[in-house]
Structure 1
């Protein structure tokens, strides 16, 4: 029947058929792997299933942190308008909340592992302890602390700048400009420190994954491999 139709219409019908075929094929493949994944998870011990659920909270908050950090980096390059400063202050507040939620999720997972130590030993699931080892490592802990300090120093600088925007940008008051310099240097020290800890954390995580590839699904992805963008000092 298709061949009895004129050429232009026949091409359209063939294309429609191919599109529908590919959609059905794609849906079938998706359902196959989805069912396969469910089948694998169904055979996991209940404790491992619970660990996967707990880890989902870590994954979500980690992803949200890096998305928000990327937005803050972008805003940091445009800081001559008071509205940009207000946006950055709000974003830092959101980031602080996300960082707290992320740490709570991490603590929940590591405490869960600790509470089920005997089960892990009994079932010979010793790789589980590597997850706790990662999140309690000095480099990871210090990276978290440095990020908290970085956000606090950044917020203090921005709030001072926002409150005294006219004195700094328009009147160029010596007193306010000197205070601004002090807050800015504190911010730069905190940012430099955070970048150093971030590099150490990345190096540690890379080596850790090589030694413990089996726990990779429970660890953060490769985010922020480069230095953070600094909030440029005002040119007075």
Structure 2
């Protein structure tokens, strides 16, 4: 009940302040397991995605968002869990496996799971190489993948920090992608890469971003090294 009320209130606030454009929402199946896979340009992408999709969207988030002590911590926990975040310790040695298994459980329950194949926010607004978790989930569960693009949300919260600015944004959804032709091949790394690249090509067309064929984490590490060297 708290989730429903909070989503309704935030939805009204979002429509009044940011006047989002939502394109292609009809491509999201009304029931059954669905993987929403898209770009990630700022911290608030997950909240906006949850608010524009009628079905509840579950996604993975850092467990520190719900384990912070005190009143602020409780408010953060209530907010993030209400918008569908499932806390996972992604920094541990088995963080990737835990996230994958959590996504599989959500899909096996016939729900909607949101994922950012880049694995982290883009450091510069470009679209980076996708990691194969999205293809593993699609092949293990048989769930269709609906690509999506967040457009101009980085203008609302540049760099993912600070007070959000009022700016219109767009969320575009593409047609569902199904990969039944690869059934039983979820351990084949070439198939996983091919499926992931296909998903990312659709995200690129929807977002209009420049594509960079390296992982975003590598780009961030390189940027940090350059800054340290310059200092």
TM-score for both structures, normalised by structure 2:
0.26
Larger radius of gyration: 1
Which structure exhibits the higher relative contact order, with contacts defined as CA atoms closer than 8 Å and separated by 6 or more residues? 2
**Which structure dedicates a bigger proportion of its chain to strand?**
2
